[in-house]
């Protein structure tokens, strides 16, 4: 990394109304994936070897297709990494880059726009002093280029928002309206700010469904995802005795009534809910197949050691992504800290990266 950029040269002013912007869909072309290495002194301490082995599998799977920018507080402590992984030394509190990495919009002239929202540890549940500074530090190190827009007046995590790239966003009310995020701002004020910052025309609020053990207060990427051809992929539940049955059934009913920014209804594709998984204290873990990552040529899907359900989920994703290979990676280690594959990754568009 030889390019250096003074952060003062990046604008943090109000959105420029003369330059329309849009938030690309995840299935549009990427330049790289942002991840962070699990290290000691974090919640991973008690299972560090296990989770680092999991991360190496994920890094190898992604690097076969795209560059990975890997954040770490100590490059010298890293193991041998797969080719295509670029380490960048900055301090981190945790590994969930989906929620503290930049949301990258595109201006109408084709230039990138780095939106840096506030990350406060999912409503002040966990320390976030380093993670909230990650985007600025990456700019200071010359890793990112483009116009910078400070959006820290709004708490917003990447896992709480889905975009179809055509003006429609999807979110959950239970997350965005959770305590310690944006009070006293109400739903209408939050919606107005998100649409203004992203350039989208319509924000869809999902009112039902959340997974037991989810520290995020119900991120949309654990339950339902926007997909190509006006499709929503969602987590279903067919077992009336499961604690999620009522909420996920209500969510499915609501999704059938939603329309996109152009007034068109969605095609719905239902993913299975993994069999219940529990931690050492008997608390249920938020395992979900909806936490997949869309890469340039494939979809990387988390698995949970459940061959029948894992195969069914992969077959289901093939319906929504017929042009992409569905590849699987075991994420049983990640879910022990209440996250999964999508939570641990953030796609970066081609125009933002300063190296090939």
Extract the tokens encoding 289: 């197949």
Which pLDDT tens digit goes with each residue over 69-100? 999 999 999 999 999 999 999 999 999 999 99
Where does 4-161 show beta strands of DSSP type E?
21-22, 30-36, 67-72, 85-89, 103-107, 112-118, 147-155
**What residue segments make up the domains of the chain, in order of their start?**
11-352
Which pLDDT tens digit goes with each residue over 279-335? 999 999 999 999 999 999 999 999 999 999 999 999 999 999 999 999 999 999 999
Query: Is 60 exceeded by the pLDDT of residue 16?
Result: no
pTM of the model: 0.95
Query: Is 90 exceeded by the pLDDT of residue 3?
Result: no
Pick the CATH number of 11-352 from 3.30.1490.20, 3.40.50.300, 3.75.10.10, 3.20.20.70: 3.75.10.10
Where does 187-254 show beta strands of DSSP type E?
202-206, 224-227, 231-235
Summarize the confidence of residues 173-188 as an average pLDDT.
96
Number of H helices and E strands in the chain, helices first, is 9, 17
| pLDDT value of residue 18 | 66
Confidence grade of residue 354 (pLDDT, cut at 50, 70, 90): confident
| pLDDT value of residue 9 | 41
Q: How far is 5 from 8, CA to CA, in rounded Å?
A: 9
Query: Is 90 exceeded by the pLDDT of residue 355?
Result: no
Contact criterion met (CB below 8 Å) for 175 and 217: yes
Summarize the confidence of residues 36-43 as an average pLDDT.
95
Q: How far is 181 from 195, CA to CA, in rounded Å?
A: 17
Which pLDDT tens digit goes with each residue over 130-149? 999 999 999 999 999 889 99
Radius of gyration of the chain (CA): 19
Query: Is 50 exceeded by the pLDDT of residue 186?
Result: yes
């Amino acid at each position: 990394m030889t390019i250096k950029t003074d952060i003062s040269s990046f604008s943090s002013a109000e959105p420029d109304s003369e330059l329309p912007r849009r938030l690309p869909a995840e299935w549009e072309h990427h330049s790289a994936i942002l991840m962070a290495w699990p290290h000691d002194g974090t919640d991973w301490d008690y299972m560090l070897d296990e989770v680092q082995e999991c991360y190496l599998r994920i890094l190898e799977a992604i690097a076969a297709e795209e560059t990975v920018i890997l954040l770490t507080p100590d490059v010298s402590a890293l193991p041998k990494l797969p080719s295509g992984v670029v380490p960048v030394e900055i301090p981190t509190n945790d590994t969930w880059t989906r929620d503290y990495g930049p949301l990258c919009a595109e201006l109408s002239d084709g230039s990138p726009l780095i939106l840096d929202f506030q990350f406060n540890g999912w409503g002040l549940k966990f320390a976030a002093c380093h993670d909230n500074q990650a985007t600025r530090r990456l700019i200071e190190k010359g890793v990112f280029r483009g116009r910078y827009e400070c959006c820290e007046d709004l708490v917003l995590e990447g896992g709480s928002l889905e975009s179809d790239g055509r003006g429609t966003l999807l979110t959950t009310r239970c997350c965005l309206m959770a305590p310690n995020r944006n009070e006293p701002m109400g739903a209408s004020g939050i919606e107005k700010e998100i649409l203004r910052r992203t350039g989208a025309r319509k924000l869809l609020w999902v009112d039902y469904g959340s997974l037991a053990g989810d520290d995020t207060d119900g991120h949309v990427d654990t339950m339902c995802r926007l997909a190509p051809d006006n499709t929503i992929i969602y987590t279903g539940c067919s077992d009336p005795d499961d604690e999620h049955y009522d909420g996920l059934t209500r969510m499915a009913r609501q999704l059938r009534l939603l329309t996109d920014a152009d007034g068109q209804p969605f095609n719905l594709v239902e993913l299975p809910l993994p069999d219940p998984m529990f931690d050492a204290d008997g608390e249920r873990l938020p395992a979900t197949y909806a936490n997949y990552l869309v890469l340039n040529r494939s979809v990387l899907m988390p698995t949970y050691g459940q061959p029948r359900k894992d195969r069914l989920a992969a077959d289901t994703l093939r319906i929504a992504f017929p042009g992409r290979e569905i590849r699987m990676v075991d994420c049983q280690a990640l879910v022990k800290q209440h996250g999964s594959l999508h939570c641990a990754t953030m796609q970066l568009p081609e125009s933002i990266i300063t190296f090939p």
